[in-house]
Amino acid sequence: MLSSGPRSEAATLTNPRRMSAQIISGRVIGEHIRAELRERIAALKAEGVTPGLATVLVGANPASQMYVGMKNKAAQEMGLHSRQINLAPDIDEAELLGMVAGLNADPGIHGILVQLPLPGHVDEGLVLETIHPSKDVDGFHPMNVGRLATDSGDFFAPCTPAGVVEMLLRSGHDPAGKHVVVVGRSNLVGRPLASLLLRKGRGGDATVTVCHSRTEDLGAVTRAADILVVAMGRPESITADMVRPGAVVIDVGTHRVDDPHAEKGYRVCGDVLFDEVKDVAGAITPSPGGVGPMTITMLLANTVTSAERALEGRRN
């Protein structure tokens, strides 16, 4: 079982009713997946193929700059070919679409990621539809969304929900047959995660409930979960009374909140009130250090898969 730090025996002995949860570390699990990817990358290189990732950043949104920088750094560390394209915030939509079309046609690029959000004058949907589905390592193209939803053919799953499923499997919490409650219905996380969990086979076969802002008595639904995945985008909103004792809790949220007691004047937290919920849950992801590191790892995994498919296609 991959986790950072076993249950504290001392805590168990001193207070048997307040056992601390197993901590599921995205850093530890992500490193295991990266070790597997290194072998696949070496095999591709032996065939003369270096997986290539292109990231497109429009404008200078500080958070987007940071995320794109982290993605490129991770790709480089893994020995991937990575290309970052920085574009002015007022770029013409047609010029951006032309840039994407050029990357579609570039045989050295296997994955294309256009960082979201895009400026208001650009049609985000049109840009995502212009990325060739076979290079859409974000899994946002309607072809990939549809194939995931219908569980048919080759597709790329979005990185964050794919990371959540890997964390569950690799920490010993296979969702098969379990009641998984997903809080959040976004296209980035909630919806694709529900589709992944409903598939037949590895990482699927779960019974899935999706909650959202209009769900009545959210706590009554979350308390029914064997596995609770929270992607609601509100800091520390899931409290101990909303979690069934022993449940597995996966926190997708990452927020910076003001904290006058912290050295920097802020601290980072998730959608789950960690300090409270860890005493009720059987297993829990921290934030930071949980789902976040998995997202970039799954982007690398999708890029490597894309390169493998391209090589296979060349052989056939």
- Alpha-carbon span 39 to 41, nearest angstrom: 5
- Alpha-carbon span 156 to 140, nearest angstrom: 8
CB of 100 to ligand GUN, least distance (A): 12
Question: Is 113 a binder of ligand GUN (CB under 6 A)?
Answer: yes
CB of 9 to ligand GUN, least distance (A): 39
Count of residues that bind ligand GUN according to CB under 6 A: 7
- Alpha-carbon span 31 to 33, nearest angstrom: 5
Residue with the closest Cβ to ligand GUN? 116
138 catalytic per annotation: yes
Q: What are phi and psi of 113, to 5 degrees?
A: -130, 120
CB-nearer residue toward ligand GUN: 6 or 89: 89
Between CA 169 and CA 241, with CA 197 as vertex, the angle to 5 degrees is 80
Question: Is 300 a binder of ligand GUN (CB under 6 A)?
Answer: no
Tokens 């699990």 locate to 29
Question: Is 70 a binder of ligand GUN (CB under 6 A)?
Answer: no
Mention every residue, 6+ apart, whose C-beta is less than 8 A from residue 91. 58, 122
Question: Is 136 a binder of ligand GUN (CB under 6 A)?
Answer: no
Choice among 138, 226, 271, 279 that is catalytic: 138
Of the candidates 77, 145, 75, the one whose C-alpha atom is nearest the C-alpha of residue 110 is 75
CB of 279 to ligand GUN, least distance (A): 31
Question: Is 159 a binder of ligand GUN (CB under 6 A)?
Answer: yes
Question: Is 138 a binder of ligand GUN (CB under 6 A)?
Answer: yes
Q: Which stretch binds ligand GUN (CB under 6 A): 30-38, 110-118, 231-239, 307-315?
A: 110-118
State how far Cα 180 lies from the chain centre: 17
Tokens of 68: 């794109």
174 catalytic per annotation: no
Give the contact letters, 178-217, x = binds to ligand GUN (CB under 6 A), - = no: ----------x-----------------------------
84 catalytic per annotation: no
Question: Is 308 a binder of ligand GUN (CB under 6 A)?
Answer: no
Question: What separation, in Å, do the N-terminal and C-terminal C-alpha atoms of the chain show?
Answer: 39
Q: Backbone dihedral region of 73: left (phi > 0), alpha (psi from -120 to 50 degrees) or beta?
A: alpha
Tokens of 305: 């898969």
CB-nearer residue toward ligand GUN: 128 or 247: 128
DSSP state at residue 82: E
Of residues 3-32, those binding ligand GUN (CB under 6 A): none
Of the candidates 32, 80, 77, the one whose C-alpha atom is nearest the C-alpha of residue 308 is 80
CB of 158 to ligand GUN, least distance (A): 7
Question: Is 148 a binder of ligand GUN (CB under 6 A)?
Answer: no
Binding region for ligand GUN (CB under 6 A): 113-116, 138, 159, 188
Name the residues annotated as catalytic: 71, 115, 138
